[in-house]
């Protein structure tokens, strides 16, 4: 699912979320799942690399939501993310 072609589709998508493209939503799900798995395995650099594949326009919001969803599981990664908001 996370082929270079699908990542390009994600990065060029006009709208993500409920009214977005179904195919792109599958890429979103796969990317966030892989990032979460890497966080759980303490592979923080790889998780950040995954999150940095996100389109720039919605990156800050995605990081905020991702951090909120994992704050109890990996507070150390949330702290790392806190320093990146607005950095992309």
What letter would DSSP give residue 27? H
Q: What is the pLDDT of residues 20-50, one digit of tens each?
A: 566 788 999 999 999 999 999 999 999 999 9
pLDDT at 20: 56
Rg of the chain (C-alpha set): 12
pLDDT score recorded for residue 50: 97
What span, in angstroms and rounded, lies between the C-alpha atoms of 59 and 31?
Answer: 13
pLDDT above 90 coverage of the chain, percent: 65
- Can you give the residue ranges of every domain in the chain? 4-82
């Amino acid at each position: 699912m996370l082929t270079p072609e699908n990542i390009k589709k994600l990065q060029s998508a006009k709208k993500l979320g409920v009214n977005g493209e179904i195919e792109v939503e599958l890429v979103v799900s796969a990317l966030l799942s892989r990032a979460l798995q890497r966080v759980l395995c303490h592979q923080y650099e790889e998780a950040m690399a995954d999150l940095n594949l996100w389109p720039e326009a919605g990156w800050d919001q995605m990081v905020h939501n991702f951090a909120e969803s994992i704050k109890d599981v990996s507070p150390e990664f949330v702290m790392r993310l806190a320093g990146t908001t607005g950095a992309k």
